[in-house]
Structures are given as C-alpha cells and as structure tokens.
Structure 1
Amino acid sequence: MAWDTEGTKRKILDAAVTEFATHGPDGTTMERIATAAGVNKERVYNYFGGKPALFARVLSDELAKVAQAVPVESFATEDIGEYAGRVYDYHRERPELTRLLRWEGLAFDGEVPDEAQRREYYGHKTAAVAAGQEAGAISQALAPDHLLFLILAIAGWWSAMPQLARMVTGPESEAEHARRRASTVTAARRLAQEESH
C-alpha cells in the first residue's frame, strides 16, 4: 500500500492548528503534534522542518483559508458592512485563526514569518477600501489602511476576547450572535459612511 504523503501532511497541519491555537508556538511540542496526527515525530520534522517553520506554515494556510472564504475586490461595489459581517461569521466558526494571530503577536517582537507576503494580502484589502473611497461609496474621513484595520478589529474582537464579550453582552446564544453580527455590520457601515452636509 502506498504511503499517503499529502493525507499525512494534512493530518499534521490539522493537529498543528489545534495545538498551536491552544498552546501557542512556545507551549506546543512537536511530540504532541505528532501524537495528535498519529505519526512519528521524525515525519513532522521531515515534512515541515522545525517548530517555527511549522507555525509559519499553519498561519499562512489559515490566512489563505480566510482570504478564500471572505474575498473582497472593491468597496466601490461591495458593502463594507456585509464584509465585516462575513469576517465576524468566519471568526465565529473558526476561532483558531484569531488565537493563532494573538499567539504570533506574543511570540514575535519584530517581523513575523512571511510578513512581506502578508503585507501584500492586506494591501489588496486596503486597495479595496481606497477604491470605495475614490468612488465616493465610503468616507475618506479615515485613511484606507486605518479604516480596514478598524473594520477587521470590530469583526474579529468578539472571538479574540470571548470572555470579555460574555461579561459585557451576556452568554453566547444564537440570538446573541445575531445581535453581535448586526452590531458589527452597523458599526462598520457607520465608520465608512460619508457624512451628509
């Protein structure tokens, strides 16, 4: 029987997402990732190198998933509020990404792995905001990069700080999630709204 290399890599990456999201890059061991994936530790090293390289790969893959799941081309034609709502939905369904980003912020003082590539990813989203501003669809009161950052923060903070969300707005429920999503959409639209004169 042939060895399913791609399937094994997928198992390792899935296990690594869970382990890194739970314990961070410093608190996770390659042994625990290997055990969770059902492979020996040497296989993890052979496929992905050391722990820093595996963490970078995991985060890169998770960012690619959100980019594919929540695409945006231009806020000249797309509703920035609905975009924020879709970002909220994604983070609610996949809280691992927010946890991975928080761990990354704690683990790295300077540039993070793949930072240049990730700047391009966020640059595309900033360009979508700028296009909306140039078309007059959204306000120019904030610079495009700041507006994008604030929209992402509004949409993602609920899953980044679930304990704070619970203390402020009450326990999670479908009704509460609907309320949080609606507030996220409204806040994003208001941030981006042109002031009437």
Structure 2
Amino acid sequence: MQRDAEATKQRLIAAGRAEFAAHGLNGARVDRIADVARCNKAQIYHYFKSKAGLFEAVWTTLVEQIIGNLPHDVEDLPGVAVHLSDLYAEHPELPRLITWQRLESGDEPNAYAVADVRARSAAIAEAQAAGLVSTRFDSRVLLALLIHIAMLWESANPEVLAVADLPDRAERREVVRRVVEALVN
C-alpha cells in the first residue's frame, strides 16, 4: 500500500488544530497529535520540521479558511460580520487558535492575511468615498471593529456572557448585525 503524504499532512494539521486549540503551542504534545493523526511523531518533524512548524501550518490553514469563507461585500458589512460570527460559532476552535497564536507566536503577521485586510480596507474606503459607508471611522479601523465584533460572543469571558444573558444564537447574530449597522450607517 502506497503512502499518501498529502493525506498524512492533512491529518497532522487537523490533529494539530484540535491539540493547539485545546492546549496552545507550548502545552500541545506531539505524541497526542501523532496518535490522533494515526501516524508516527517523526512524521511531524519530517513534514513540518518542529511542533512550531506544525502550528504555523495550522495557522496558515486557519487564515486561509477564514479569508476563503468571508464575503467581499462592502455594501453589506453587517452581513459580512454576521457571516464571520457564524463561522466562529460553528468552529469554536478558531477564536481559541487566534488567541493562542497571539499569545505564543509573537507579533509576526501572516502576509496573506495582511494583504486581505489591506484589500478589504481599501474596498471599504472606496465605499466610504462613494457615500455607501459612514466615514465616522477610518476604513482600517472600521474593518478591525467589524472583525472583533464578529468574534465577541466566542471570545468574551464567562462573566460577561452571564450578564449579557443572550444564549440564543439568533439573538447574538442580531446584536452583531445591529452594532455593525450602527458603525457603517
């Protein structure tokens, strides 16, 4: 039986994603990742050079997933925010990995994500110039606010969630929509 290197890499990335989301880079264990991926831990080092290299591959995959699933509709920024919020709710490991990346991997930005943020900010600036979006905030700041509002429910601490008392996903979506509408109108 021939080995499928790409399938092995993908299993390692999937297993790494779950392990890193649960434990972060420093708390993750290559033994657990290899067991879940049904491979030898030496393959982690073969394909990714190190545990940190696997984390970087997981991070790149996450960035590509988020960007690939996020619409480019500057005329419906509230809808974009709701879509992103839904993505975070459906994949709760995403906000956890974002947090771990920020805590453990430093401030080196992903070039693909930076290019996407620049392109989206430029599109918002064009919509602002055309009078479609409020100029109350610079386009770059507006996009940053939209992204973080979308992650609100998945990243808020339990005390805030207990006081906000909005366990219903539809209500949470509506809050995201209304807040972003207030920012862009």
TM-score class normalised by the smaller sequence: over 0.9
- The change in CA–CA distance for 1:104 and 1:50 in structure 2 (over 3 A counts) is same
Residue type at the aligned position of 1:39: C
CA contact (8 A) 2:44 2:51 kept: no
2:181 corresponds in structure 1 to 189
SS at match of 2:178: helix
The yes-or-no answer on 1:161 pairing with 2:153 is no
Partner of residue 102 from structure 1, selected from 93, 96, 99: 99
CA RMSD of aligned residues (A): 1.6
Q: Report the CA distance between 1:87 and its aligned residue.
A: 0.7
- The change in CA–CA distance for 1:85 and 1:164 in structure 2 (over 3 A counts) is farther
C-alpha distance in structure 2 between counterparts of 1:104 and 1:85, whole Å: 23
Runs of 4+ in 1 over 4 A off after TM superposition: none
C-alpha distance in structure 2 between counterparts of 1:95 and 1:162, whole Å: 14
After superposition, what is the alpha-carbon deviation per residue over 1:3-38, rounded to whole angstroms, capped at 9, x for unaligned? Answer: 122211111111000000110011112222111111
Residue type at the aligned position of 1:87: L
CA contact (8 A) 2:166 2:172 kept: no
SS at match of 1:82: helix
CA contact (8 A) 2:25 2:104 kept: yes
Tell me the TM-score normalised to structure 2 length: 0.93
CA contact (8 A) 2:89 2:154 kept: yes
2:117 corresponds in structure 1 to 122
Q: Report the CA distance between 1:164 and its aligned residue.
A: 4.0
- The change in CA–CA distance for 1:145 and 1:160 in structure 2 (over 3 A counts) is same
C-alpha distance in structure 1 between counterparts of 2:157 and 2:177, whole Å: 18
Q: Report the CA distance between 1:117 and its aligned residue.
A: 3.1
Residue type at the aligned position of 1:98: P
CA contact (8 A) 1:30 1:41 kept: yes
CA contact (8 A) 1:92 1:159 kept: yes
CA contact (8 A) 2:82 2:177 kept: yes
1:85 corresponds in structure 2 to 82
Residue type at the aligned position of 1:192: V
Q: Report the CA distance between 1:89 and its aligned residue.
A: 0.5
- The change in CA–CA distance for 1:154 and 1:171 in structure 2 (over 3 A counts) is closer
2:60 corresponds in structure 1 to 60
Q: Report the CA distance between 1:127 and its aligned residue.
A: 1.7
How many residue pairs get matched? 185
Residue type at the aligned position of 1:52: A
